[in-house]
Amino acid sequence: MPLLETIGGPSDLKKLSLAQLDEVAQEIREAIFAQVSQTGGHLAPNLGVVDLTIAMHYVFDFGHDRLLFDVGHQCYPHKLLTGRQGMLGKLRTREGMSGFPEPRESHFDQFSVGHAGTGISTAVGMARGDTLNGEAFDAGENPDGRRVVTLIGDASIVNGVSMEGLNNAGTLKRQFLVVLNDNGMSISKPQGAMAQYFDRVRINPIYGDMKKRARRMLDHLPGGTMVEEAYHRLGEIAKAAVTENTWFEHFGLVTVGPIDGHNIRELVEFLSEARDFDRPMVLHVKTTKGKGYEFAEGDATTFHSPAAFDYNPDNCRVEMKKSGRSFTSAFADAMCDVMSDDEKVVSCTAAMPSGTGLDVVGEEFPERTFDTGICESHALDMLAGMAKTGFKPFFTVYSTFLQRAFDQAFQESALQGLPVRLCLDRAGLVGGDGAVHHGFCDVSLLRTLPDAALLAVADEDSLRAALEFMRTYERGLSAVRYPRDNVSDRLAGFGACPAFELGKARALVEHDEPDVAVLAFGVMVINALDSVDLVGDGARVNVYDARFAKPVDSELIRSLLERGIPIVTLEDHGLTGGFGAAVVEAASDMGLDAGRVNRLGLPDRWIYQDSRSKQLEEVGLDAPSIAKAIRESVDTRRGAVEVRTRSVYAGASERTSIS
C-alpha cells in the first residue's frame, strides 16, 4: 500500500521514519500532478512546497498550533496530509477540495485565503489573541501552549500589508515563526528591489558554507545585541545558519537560512530547533517551483495554474487541452493595438502579467508596460502620477484584487479627475477558484465615484470598442469588466459593433410593443439571447446590451417604464449596489415605477468553488432560469393588461346602463 494512503492526518505522518518521508513526498507530487492534469488547478506552486509542508507537519502539531498560509494556492500538500485525500478527485468543485485554505473543510485551515500579503498580520493577531487567552506557548511556563507559524511566499513579502505585519511582528515577546518560501517566482518572475535582494541572498556563499562562517559573522554584527542573544538561545544547527545583515533583522526578527527546502531531513532539524525559540524568527527556505517535473520547473509560469493537459511520460511532452479563445487573450491583442495607435498609452499589472495577458503586451512594448509586483495600491498610485504627466494609463487587474486599491482609485484618481483606466479581468463568477476570487463588487465600489464611467463587454468586438472609448475618456476614472471565460461569437449576426457612447445601451432585439425588456450588463447579453429562444408562447422580448452601469441609459429606462413595459436586469455581479440597483435608482429619481424592475444577479451569500457554468445555474443566471424570469414578467404584464381591459369594459357597460 502506498504510504500516502496510510496517512489520515498528521499524527499518522509522525509515525513514519525520516527515511520514509521522501517516499511520501514523491507520492504527494504524483497525486497532485495526476489530478491537476485532469481538472486544472495550481500545479507548480504546490509541487514546490511538498517537502517543506511535510517537514512542518512532522515537527509541529497544527491541530493545536496555528498554521496560516499567505499564498493560499500552495495548500494542496497540506490538505492531503490533513485528512482530505478523498476530496482531491473533485478538486475545485463543490463536492471536492477547494484550491485554497478553507475552514469549512477542516479545522487545520485558519482562514479562507486568496489574497497575498495577509498571512503575517493575521498570524500576529492570533499570536496576540493566544497570549491574552493564556494559551500561547512558553517553554518555561506553558510548554503545552500554541505555537504560531505562517508560510509566506517571497513575492508576497513585498506587499504593503506584509510590511506592516513584519513591523508589528518584531514587537512580539513570544514564539512566532515566519517560514519564507523563496522560489524566485510569484506567478511570473518577481519584480522590484526586494526580488533583487533575494536573488543576491540565494547566490551568497554563506548558503553553501554556513557552519564554517557563522561564528565569525556574529562577531562582526553591529552592536551584537539582539542577534547575539538569539544566537545563544538557538540550537547548534540553527546557529550555523543565522544570517548577517538580513532585511528582516531591521524589523526585529532573527533570520535563519536560506536552507534547502527540498532536503526533508535538514528541514526537520531546523524546524525542530525553531519550534521552541521564544522570539520572532524568519526561516528562509529556498525551493524550486514545479519541483519534481522538469517541464514544470522549466516553465513555472505556464504551469502555475494550468487548465487540464495531456502528459506523455515516454517523451515528457505536455500538450495543453484547447478550450477556445479567452477574454484575456482577446484583451492582450486589443491592448497591443491601442498602444500601437497611441504612444501616450501605458499599461501596468500587479504581478499578473500572464494572468492578465500583459506578458504579450510587454513583449511588444517593454518601455511602456510595467509590473509592480504584488502591490495593487502602489500600482494605481503610480499610474495616477503618470496620468498627471500626460500619459494614458491602463491598469490590468483581477476584479477581486482591485479591492486592495480602492482607496487609490478614490483619492489619487477620481478625486483628482485623473483618467486612470481599469481593465477588470476575472469579473463575476470565476469557477474553481471560488469565493476568494469572485469579482462581485467592483461596480458597487466604483459606482460611488463621481464622473466614473463603468463599462462591461459581451464579446471581443465590444471589448475593443470599450478600450477605445476609455482611451479618449478624460473626465475621470473608467473601468471595463470581462469574465474568466471564452469570448462568444453569438453577436456575429447582429451587425458591426458600434462605438461606445457614454451612458447609451445597444439594442439587439427590439419590438415596437414588447411584453418585456431585458437589460443585460456584459456577457449576460449572451445568456439573455439564449434565454429568449427558450421563452416561447409568442412573447415579444426586447434585448439590450446595457454597456454602462454608470451612467445607465436613463432615456431607455424612461421610455420603457412610461409605456408600462417591465424590465429584467441581468448582471454577473452582486445585486447590492450593482447594475440592477443603478437601474432602480434611475427609475426612482425620474419618478417612475421602479417596482416594474426585476433584478437578476449574484445573491447576498458566498458562492463556493465549482465550474462557472454550475455557479451561474446556482444563482439563476443560466439561460433556462433567465427564461423563467422573463416568462413570469410577461405573464404578470399580460395579466395586468387583461385586468385593466376588463375594468375599462366594465366601466363602459356601467355608464351605458345608467344613461
Q: Is the pLDDT of residue 652 over 60?
A: no
- pLDDT at position 402 is 97
DSSP type of residue 352? -
Top pLDDT among 49 and 643 is at 49
Domains of the chain, start order = 3-295 (3.40.50.970), 327-490 (3.40.50.970), 491-641 (3.40.50.920)
Q: Is the pLDDT of residue 160 over 90?
A: no
Whole-angstrom distance, CA of residue 271 vs CA of residue 405: 36
Cell numbers of 591, please?
A: 419618478
Q: Is the pLDDT of residue 469 over 90?
A: yes
Q: Helix crossing, 18-39 with 264-274: angle to 10°?
A: 110
Per-residue confidence band for 645, with pLDDT thresholds at 50, 70 and 90: very low
Candidates 404, 447, 464, 471; catalytic one: 404
Q: Cell 538580513 belongs to which residue? A: 246
Per-residue confidence band for 49, with pLDDT thresholds at 50, 70 and 90: very high
* 493-507 residue pLDDT tens: 999 999 999 999 999
Give the Å distances, CA to CA, from 364 to 339, 354, 425, 464, 643. Answer: 9, 14, 20, 18, 64
Cell numbers of 659, please?
A: 344613461
Residue 627 half-sphere exposure toward CB, CA atoms < 13 A: 16
With CA atoms as reference, report the closest residue to 373 among 547, 545, 238, 197: 197
CB atoms within 10 A of CB 569: 28
E-strand ranges in 265-308 read 280-286
Helices (H), 203-341: 210-219, 225-233, 236-239, 264-274, 294-298, 327-341
Q: What percent of the chain has pLDDT over 70?
A: 87
Whole-angstrom distance, CA of residue 146 vs CA of residue 68: 13
Q: Helix crossing, 554-562 with 579-589: angle to 10°?
A: 70
- Mean pLDDT, the chain, rounded, equals 89
Helices (H), 536-611: 554-562, 579-589
* 540-567 residue pLDDT tens: 999 999 999 999 999 999 999 999 999 9
Angle at 318 between CA 398 and CA 75, to 5 degrees: 50
Residues 148/65, Cβ–Cβ less than 8 Å: yes
Q: Is the pLDDT of residue 267 over 90?
A: yes
* 408-467 residue pLDDT tens: 999 999 999 999 999 999 999 999 999 999 999 999 999 999 999 999 999 999 999 999
- Report residue 650 CA to chain centroid gap: 61
- pLDDT at position 254 is 87
* 356-382 residue pLDDT tens: 999 999 999 999 999 998 999 999 999
DSSP SS3 for 634: helix
Per-residue confidence band for 654, with pLDDT thresholds at 50, 70 and 90: very low
Q: Cell 426586447 belongs to which residue? A: 542
289 part of the active site: yes
With CA atoms as reference, report the closest residue to 484 among 583, 352, 288, 603: 352
Residue 146 identity (one-letter amino acid): R
DSSP SS3 for 584: helix
Q: Cell 509560469 belongs to which residue? A: 301
E-strand ranges in 434-566 read 453-456, 478-481, 506-509, 516-521, 541-545, 548-550
105 part of the active site: no
Cell numbers of 535, please?
A: 421563452
* 211-266 residue pLDDT tens: 334 434 444 434 344 455 655 566 655 656 666 557 787 888 888 888 999 999 99
The residues facing 311 across adjacent strands are: 318
Residues 602/625, Cβ–Cβ less than 8 Å: no
Q: What percent of the chain has pLDDT over 90?
A: 75
Candidates 376, 412, 460, 571; catalytic one: 376
- pLDDT at position 637 is 72
Candidates 289, 481, 550, 599; catalytic one: 289
27 part of the active site: no
